[in-house]
């Protein structure tokens, strides 16, 4: 059974870069779409980025200038980088597996437990 | 303000049925059959309950059903149980560059 586990620093200073990793176990990262989402405490979900194992990516236009994601097939994990963070980037960050029939994930069927990231000096 | 509109809260008694709506536009909910619903208990990750408007993933109870009419999708939970108390979010593919939209979430209270 595929499981996802996010990891990374829980505290990032303003203007610095947030870096997270999502390790995929129980299955290969070479298939499916893999997605990053976030959720500020007490608020709704926001899609950040998705990547397919062939390296195609797509980013939320509101974050596109600051975000990048990549896959390391040798480690079976994906990574997220978000630059120049502010307090508005404080949230629980999730990685999720996307199911797709449209050339992009249309639903997210397996989620990691999430990791809380706080942006503060 | 979220792109898809959901009621902030709904409630029902055990055994009853409730419906949560999710309203968008013809560019998202109304234009595509890629509406999903997620259940989220406090402190937990979201869980996929419905995809492609009305399909249930393996292991999801048939008490959960989805439908769509025009620009509004709906999640119906029948035979309410205490463990159904959670937040529910809808999402939809959109033709805009944003690609996917979420609703603001609905808090379901089982009385």
CA-nearest residue of chain B to A92? B45
pLDDT digits over B76-104, tens only?
999 999 999 999 999 999 988 778 999 99
Residue B23: band (very low, low, confident or very high) from pLDDT cuts 50, 70, 90: very high
Q: What is the mean pLDDT of residues A95-106?
A: 87
Alpha-carbon torsion, ordered A56, A36, A45, B80, to 10 deg: 100
Whole-number percent of chain A with pLDDT over 90: 81
State the nearest Cα–Cα gap between B52 and chain A, in angstroms: 8
Residues in chain A closer than 8 A to B36 (CB atoms): 106-108
Q: What is the mean pLDDT of residues B28-32?
A: 95
- Whether residue B97 lies within 8 A of chain A, CB to CB, comes out as yes
**Nearest-5° Cα angle at A94, A81 to A63:** 45
Joined together, the tokens standing for residue B51 give: 């995809």
Residues in chain A closer than 8 A to B105 (CB atoms): 44-45
Do A107 and B91 lie within an 8 Å CB cutoff?
yes
pLDDT for the residue B2: 57
pLDDT for the residue A30: 87
- Whether residue B45 lies within 8 A of chain A, CB to CB, comes out as yes
Residues in chain A closer than 8 A to B46 (CB atoms): 45, 94, 108, 111
Residue A55: band (very low, low, confident or very high) from pLDDT cuts 50, 70, 90: low
Q: What is the mean pLDDT of residues A85-98?
A: 97
Do A107 and B2 lie within an 8 Å CB cutoff?
no
Residue pair B12/B19 in contact (Cβ under 8 Å)? The answer is no
Residue A77 — φ and ψ, nearest 5°?
-140, 160
Residue B72 CB: number of other CB atoms within 10 A?
Answer: 17
Do B48 and A94 lie within an 8 Å CB cutoff?
no
Mean pLDDT of chain A: 93
d(CA A21, CA A19): 7
Residue pair A33/A104 in contact (Cβ under 8 Å)? The answer is yes
pLDDT for the residue B1: 47
């Amino acid at each position: 059974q595929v499981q996802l586990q996010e990891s990374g620093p829980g505290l990032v200073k303003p203007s610095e870069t947030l870096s997270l990793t999502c390790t995929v176990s129980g299955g290969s990262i070479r298939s499916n779409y893999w997605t990053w989402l976030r959720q500020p405490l007490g608020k709704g979900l926001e899609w950040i980025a998705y990547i397919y194992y062939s390296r195609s990516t797509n980013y939320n236009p509101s974050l596109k200038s600051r975000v990048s994601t990549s896959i390391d097939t040798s480690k079976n994990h994906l990574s997220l980088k978000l630059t120049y963070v502010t307090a508005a980037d404080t949230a629980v960050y999730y990685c999720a597996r996307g199911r797709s029939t449209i050339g992009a994930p249309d639903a997210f069927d397996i989620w990691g437990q999430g990791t809380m990231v706080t942006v503060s000096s | 303000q979220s792109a898809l509109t959901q009621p902030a809260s709904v409630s029902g008694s055990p055994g009853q049925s409730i419906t949560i709506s999710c309203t968008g536009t013809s560019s998202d909910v109304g234009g595509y059959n890629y509406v999903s619903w997620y259940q989220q208990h406090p402190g937990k990750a979201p869980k996929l309950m419905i995809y492609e408007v009305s399909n249930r993933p393996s292991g999801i109870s048939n008490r959960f059903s989805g439908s769509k009419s025009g620009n509004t999708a709906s999640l119906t939970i029948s035979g309410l149980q205490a463990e159904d108390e959670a937040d529910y979010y809808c999402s939809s593919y959109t033709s805009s560059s944003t690609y996917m939209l979420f609703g603001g979430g609905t808090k379901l209270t089982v009385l």
